[in-house]
């Protein structure tokens, strides 16, 4: 069993056994047929992943790692808010006729801000500090810009990352206001594990811990039987993760520079209903 599987199973059991139901409450999310999408939720979930020990992809079912990385690069490297720059259709429902999702996600990372050292966008400021001031306690990014929320097609879910260097290890805390556990958990964990590896490599550091803080971790009502079946499945050892060691510039990475080996996993769950 991978440690990612163990954490996921424990989290899901906690939500199923101890979660608070939204039944009787007015909820925003709806199923495709217009029915309210109710949830069981737990507040304040914290999961820790030691990236030096394993790559935290679930083996209960496969995580499409290449697609997850493609979205990660779209946001953090391309700093794009246009789905035409993305090699999948996961954001199409939120895009306008020109493909824009508004002033969300990658847009926020690309806005330049003034510092005493000069102008940087949020990604370049992280890169600067990791090379020039790695033990700073101020290395962080934030996508939740209140003045721009009204121009975002979707408020950011995973909205803030705090980076912290201990010795030669780069650690990170990912803050997420809300998470659809079945659909998004492994996807987000894999993405930000890769991001830590990327920043570590180009900064002469090693990947350390990823701490994932979820304010509202929930399982939708129509997902409950799917989750119950999923967490009863056999588990396999964690896959091996390799990153092209020749890449020294954050902006030179491509999807092909990341290799996941010996990834054995259960069958994919198809046709998962998604609440919007």
Give catalytic residue positions: 157
- Cβ pair 219, 37 in contact under 8 A: no
The answer for residues whose C-beta is within 8 angstroms of residue 106's C-beta and 6 or more apart is 74, 75, 76, 78, 79, 80, 81
Q: Give the bridge partners for 39, in sequence order.
A: 220
Distance CA 25, CA 38 (A): 9
On whether 166 is known to bind a ligand per the annotation, the reply is no
Beta bridge partners of 261: 240
Q: Is 179 annotated as ligand-binding?
A: yes
256 is in an annotated binding site: no
Is the Cβ–Cβ distance between 204 and 248 less than 8 Å? no
What are the φ and ψ backbone dihedral angles of 43, each rounded to 5 degrees? -95, 135
178 marked ligand binding residue: yes
Check the annotation: does 180 bind a ligand: yes
| CA–CA gap between residue 23 and residue 212 (Å, rounded) | 27
Tell me the sheet residues that pair with 106: none
- Is 138 annotated as ligand-binding? yes
- Residue 89's Cβ-count burial label (10 Å; 0-12, 13-18, 19+) is exposed
Is residue 9 annotated as involved in ligand binding?
Answer: no
Find out whether 220 is annotated in a ligand binding site: yes
Binding residues for dUMP: 137-138, 177-180, 188, 218-220
Binding residues: 137-138, 177-180, 188, 218-220, 275
């Amino acid at each position: 069993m991978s440690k990612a599987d163990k954490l996921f199973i424990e989290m899901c059991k906690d939500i199923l056994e101890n979660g608070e139901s939204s039944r009787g409450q007015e909820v925003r999310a709806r199923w495709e047929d217009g029915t309210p999408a109710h949830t069981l939720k737990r507040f304040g979930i914290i999961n820790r992943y030691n990236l030096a020990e394993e790559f935290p992809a679930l083996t209960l079912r496969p995580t499409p790692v290449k697609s997850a990385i493609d979205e990660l690069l779209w946001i953090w490297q391309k700093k794009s808010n246009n789905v035409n720059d993305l090699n999948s259709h996961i954001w199409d429902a939120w895009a306008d006729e020109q493909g824009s999702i508004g002033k969300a996600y990658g847009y926020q990372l690309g806005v330049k801000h003034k510092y005493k050292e000069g102008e940087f966008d949020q990604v370049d400021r992280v890169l600067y500090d990791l090379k020039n001031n790695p033990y700073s306690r101020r290395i962080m990014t934030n996508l939740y810009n209140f003045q721009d929320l009204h121009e975002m097609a979707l408020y950011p879910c995973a909205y803030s990352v705090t980076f912290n260097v201990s010795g030669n290890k780069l650690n990170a805390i990912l803050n997420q206001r809300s998470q659809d556990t079945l659909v998004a958990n492994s996807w987000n964990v894999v993405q930000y594990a890769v991001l830590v590896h990327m920043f570590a490599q180009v900064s002469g550091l090693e990947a350390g811990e990823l701490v994932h803080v979820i304010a509202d971790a929930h399982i939708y009502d129509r997902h409950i039987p799917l989750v119950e079946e999923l967490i009863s499945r056999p588990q396999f050892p964690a896959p091996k993760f390799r990153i092209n060691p020749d890449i020294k510039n954050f902006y030179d990475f491509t999807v092909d520079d990341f290799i996941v080996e010996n990834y054995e996993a259960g069958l994919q769950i198809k046709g998962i209903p998604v609440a919007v």
